[in-house]
Amino acid sequence: MPKRTAVDPTFLDLATRECINLRCRCGREVSIAPFKLIGAYGVTQHTHIFSLKERFRCRKCKRRPPKDFWVAKWQD
């Protein structure tokens, strides 16, 4: 799975069907569709995606930030 090479993309830079992926130290992994974030938490299309990393908290173990944070094509 190729990782996005842009240094700090915004939501506008995301291609169709790309989503945000997080992996916690506890092993929990989630994929989040960008449209679920835009309009919530003060996120707009111009928000830098990696600026959000510190704000994600694991729902399972409550730790943050995530160990891994990357953008990839949505997996069906």
Tokens of 41: 């938490």
Considering beta carbons, is residue 3 or 62 the nearer one to Zn ion? Answer: 62
CA–CA distance, 63 with 57 (Å, rounded to integer) = 6
Binding of Zn ion at residue 26 (CB under 5 A)? yes
Beta-carbon-side half-sphere exposure of residue 49 (alpha carbons within 13 Å) = 25
Q: What is the closest distance, in whole angstroms, from the C-beta atom of residue 66 to Zn ion in the complex?
A: 8
The whole-angstrom separation of Cα 26 and Cα 38 is 27
Letters for 38-67 (x = contact with Zn ion by CB under 5 A, - = none) are --------------------x-xx------
Positions that interact with Zn ion (CB under 5 A): 24, 26, 28, 58, 60-61
